[in-house]
Amino acid sequence: MENYTMDALDLSLTTEFDYGDSAPCTGTEEKHFAAKFLPPLYSLVVIFGLIGNLLVVLILVKYKRLKSMTDIYLLNLAISDLLFVFSLPFWAYYVVHDWIFGEVLCRILSGVYLLGFYSGIFFIILLTLDRYLAIVHAVFALKARTVSYGILTSAVTWAVAIFASVPGVVFHKTQKENSHYTCSAHYPNDAIINWKYSYVLKMNILGLVVPMLIMIFSYSQILKTLLKCKNEKKQKAVRLIFMIMIFYFIFWTPFHICSFLHTFQISLFEPNCEIKGQLERAIQVTETVSMIHCCINPVIYAFAGEKFRKYLYAFFRKHVAVHLCKKCPNLYHEKLERVSSTFTPSTAEHDISTGL
């Protein structure tokens, strides 16, 4: 994914857009808007994204011990979200100031940003297919949904995500423009439009169209299967599935639509300074909103699982609350043992039916 917030900011700093006889568009208003609006939101995303996803990693490794394919995918999703979050403090600083981190970090952080984006989308797709197999093809899932296959498919997924992120590393570089140092994509002069169009189309297809088609097909089949069974746990899975779909499309669809309109604006309509300014502000807002999804992932993919919540509660009781209340360590130890012994065949059935 091209970092539109950064590229829009670079354009406002370095380019005067001339639309016929109208005055040039300086982009000053968009730059001030970005400098005021984005850093605090980036900071919140970093804080909650780090805390939430680190807790997911901790619970999966320490308590669940990665015993299923779902656990493997959840772990990799949390790691991809952490990669995504890792680059945000640098971009937050860049929104307000010049790029001061050098060309090596410019390329590395652009690659990390893209790697976090693509791998996150791909692991969401794998989790969708994992749920599809577990519920629609339960018999086949007993052989296919193994830890070994989970590790293998995760390795392939990371390889594909790295390949998709390579252009970001290759084309991003630093440059001094009008006394400002920038970190943005610079395409070959003889094919700038073609590269940018293909870049955005790839992002839209891999980030929205493909996941949407897979999720619509998979979840429609899952719902048909679950609605045939009037089981309370199955009904919880239905609600969870709707929540997953709704949150994904709420957070990502506006950004993909805005990025498409921003890139193809000349082909779609006659742009002027007002329209261009509105599109750039829309990109800034929707990209930041889409970033919030990495904070939501721990909630909708992990914390929604009943067993996962019990492990999280046990962790806080043992490692956090015990330090706040020195007089009652026995209570916390007893509670932890009780939670650790809650795994029964019925809870195992719940994990399979919900995919968590």
Q: Give the rounded percent of residues in the chain with a pLDDT score beyond 90.
A: 17
Q: How far apart are CA 108 and CA 172, in angstroms?
A: 9
Q: 193 falls in which pLDDT band (50, 70, 90)?
A: confident
Q: How far apart are CA 199 and CA 196, in angstroms?
A: 5
Whole-prediction pTM: 0.80
Note the pLDDT of residue 160: 95
Q: 356 falls in which pLDDT band (50, 70, 90)?
A: low
Q: Is 257:279 a contact under the CB 8 Å cutoff?
A: no
Q: 157 vs 71, which has greater pLDDT?
A: 157
pLDDT over 80 at 308, yes or no: no
Note the pLDDT of residue 189: 74
Q: How far apart are CA 183 and CA 13, in angstroms?
A: 12
Q: Is 114:164 a contact under the CB 8 Å cutoff?
A: yes
Query: Residue type for 188, please?
Result: P
Note the pLDDT of residue 151: 94
Q: Is 274:316 a contact under the CB 8 Å cutoff?
A: no
Note the pLDDT of residue 162: 95
Q: Is 81:124 a contact under the CB 8 Å cutoff?
A: no
Q: 82 vs 241, which has greater pLDDT?
A: 82
Q: What is the mean pLDDT of residues 57-74?
A: 87
Q: What is the mean pLDDT of residues 74-78?
A: 91
Q: 236 vs 311, which has greater pLDDT?
A: 311
Report the b/e string of 241-267 with b at 16+ CB within 10 A.
beebbebbeebbebbbebbbbbbeeee
pLDDT over 80 at 207, yes or no: yes
Q: Which residues pair with 172 in a beta bridge?
A: 185
By mean pLDDT, which of 1-10, 93-102, 179-188, 203-212 is the weakest? 1-10
Cα separations in angstroms, 231 against 70, 131, 308? 22, 17, 21
Q: Is 14:36 a contact under the CB 8 Å cutoff?
A: no
Q: What is the mean pLDDT of the chain?
A: 78
Tokens matching residue 152: 């293998």
Note the pLDDT of residue 209: 92
pLDDT over 90 at 314, yes or no: no
Find tokens 């970033």 and name the residue.
Answer: 291
Note the pLDDT of residue 30: 59
Q: What is the mean pLDDT of residues 144-156?
A: 93
- In tens, the pLDDT along 250-305 reads 888 999 999 888 888 877 777 777 778 788 888 888 888 888 888 887 777 666 66
By mean pLDDT, which of 165-174, 216-225, 262-271 is the weakest? 262-271
DSSP string, 71-138: HHHHHHHHHHHHHHHHHHHHHHHHHHS---SHHHHHHHHHHHHHHHHHHHHHHHHHHHHHHHHHHHSH
Q: Is 136:221 a contact under the CB 8 Å cutoff?
A: yes
Note the pLDDT of residue 176: 82
Q: 195 vs 71, which has greater pLDDT?
A: 71
Q: 317 falls in which pLDDT band (50, 70, 90)?
A: confident
Q: How far apart are CA 307 and CA 239, in angstroms?
A: 17
Q: 355 falls in which pLDDT band (50, 70, 90)?
A: very low
By mean pLDDT, which of 44-53, 291-300, 301-310 is the weakest? 301-310
DSSP 205: I
Q: 317 vs 6, which has greater pLDDT?
A: 317
Q: 124 vs 324, which has greater pLDDT?
A: 124
pLDDT over 50 at 5, yes or no: no
Q: How many other C-beta atoms are found inside a 10 Å radius of the C-beta of residue 32?
A: 11
By mean pLDDT, which of 3-17, 123-137, 175-189 is the weakest? 3-17
Q: What is the mean pLDDT of residues 180-196?
A: 79
